[in-house]
């Protein structure tokens, strides 16, 4: 499972999460006033989740997890970052939205949950999660093991094609990486500051400035074919594979154009390309 890389990612996420949340203002107030961080794309793929058990894998600081609960689901959030889970638990209490949060390496949690025969109606994964998965096959089989019969995996993610480009739109990174990690010596960035209002819950706050991460991070580039194949081999049936020509919330590259609904499109002189995708896969 390359646990040493996971551990370095945990440390890097701990630092980055502090910076990210410093820009988002009074988040408990945002939720108490009825706020919801989910975009239309994930709401459409999820459908009506009232009363359903949902686990949000790699939930980060819990904003989307609490938004799922706000839609009526019984929600569990899991993340490797101590800082993220501590923040999520506090936000749940202060916003008065009920959710369970666990700090764990994802692979450990999937194995332990399967061993307890705990099952969910929906497994949810979104926005910058799959790039941290070091073994797609184990991930997919772990998800299948905790889904009820008829349960669904719902994924909304940044497209691997978009990950080929550097900030200046130059083609820098490979599409096929054979599972080899891409190591960032400067660690996880303050992408909330880069996206500004696109990822703030209400008014953007300056917060931590000139953030520098002390811990490096390791990502994994998985192609669409590899992801879908892993799900199929785990026994899941892919019902939806949707691609989108924009990114939600996050400004991925320079000179991107922001459209209504916090959608980011390429500059006018860059031909369109898939920047996000959605998957719904069902356990029969």
What's the confidence (pLDDT) of residue 199?
A: 80
Cβ atoms of 232 and 238 within 8 Å: the answer is: yes
Mean pLDDT, to the nearest integer, of 27-41?
Answer: 94
Residue 195: pLDDT band (50, 70, 90) is: confident
CA nearest neighbour of 223 among 145, 187, 280, 277: 277
pTM of this structure? 0.94
Q: Which two tokens stand for residue 54?
A: 């949902």
CA separation for the pair 217, 188 (Å, rounded) = 6
What's the confidence (pLDDT) of residue 194?
A: 82
For the chain, the domains span: 3-283
Residue 196 has pLDDT above 90, yes or no: no
Mean pLDDT, to the nearest integer, of 27-38?
Answer: 93
Cβ atoms of 246 and 264 within 8 Å: the answer is: yes
Mean pLDDT, to the nearest integer, of 165-174?
Answer: 96
Mean pLDDT, to the nearest integer, of 255-280?
Answer: 96
Mean pLDDT, to the nearest integer, of 234-245?
Answer: 98
What's the confidence (pLDDT) of residue 200?
A: 72
* Fold that domain 3-283 belongs to in CATH: Rossmann fold (3.40.50)
Residue 203 has pLDDT above 80, yes or no: no
Residue 144: pLDDT band (50, 70, 90) is: very high
Mean pLDDT, to the nearest integer, of 60-69?
Answer: 97
**Rounded mean pLDDT of the chain?**
95
Cβ atoms of 72 and 51 within 8 Å: the answer is: yes
What's the confidence (pLDDT) of residue 1?
A: 61
Residue 171 has pLDDT above 70, yes or no: yes
1-11 tens-digit pLDDT: 689 999 999 99
Residue 197 has pLDDT above 70, yes or no: no
Residue 265: pLDDT band (50, 70, 90) is: very high
């Amino acid at each position: 499972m390359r646990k040493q890389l996971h551990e370095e990612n945990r440390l890097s996420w701990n630092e980055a999460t502090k910076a990210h949340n410093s820009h988002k203002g009074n988040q408990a107030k945002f939720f108490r006033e009825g706020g919801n961080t989910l975009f239309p794309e994930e709401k459409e793929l999820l459908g009506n989740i009232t009363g359903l058990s949902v686990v949000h894998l790699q939930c980060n600081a819990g904003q989307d997890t609490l938004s799922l609960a706000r839609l009526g689901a019984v929600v569990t959030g899991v993340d490797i970052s101590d800082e993220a889970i501590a923040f999520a638990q506090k936000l749940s209490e202060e916003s008065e939205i009920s959710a369970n949060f666990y700090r764990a390496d994802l692979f450990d949690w999937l194995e332990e949950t399967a061993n307890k025969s705990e099952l969910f109606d929906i497994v949810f994964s979104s926005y910058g999660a799959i790039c941290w998965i070091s073994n797609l096959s184990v991930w997919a089989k772990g998800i299948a093991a905790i889904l009820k019969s008829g349960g669904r995996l719902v994924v909304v993610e940044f497209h691997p094609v978009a990950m080929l480009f550097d900030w200046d739109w130059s083609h820098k990174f490979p599409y096929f990486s054979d599972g080899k990690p891409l190591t960032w010596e400067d660690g996880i960035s303050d992408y909330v500051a880069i996206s500004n209002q696109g990822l703030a819950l209400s008014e953007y706050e300056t917060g931590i400035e000139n953030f520098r991460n002390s811990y490096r991070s390791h990502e994994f580039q998985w192609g669409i074919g590899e992801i879908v194949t892993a799900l199929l081999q785990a026994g899941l049936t892919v019902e939806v594979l949707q691609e989108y020509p924009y990114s939600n919330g996050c400004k991925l590259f320079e000179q991107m154009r922001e459209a209504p609904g916090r959608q980011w499109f390429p500059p006018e002189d860059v031909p369109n390309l898939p920047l996000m995708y959605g998957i719904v896969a069902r356990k029969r």
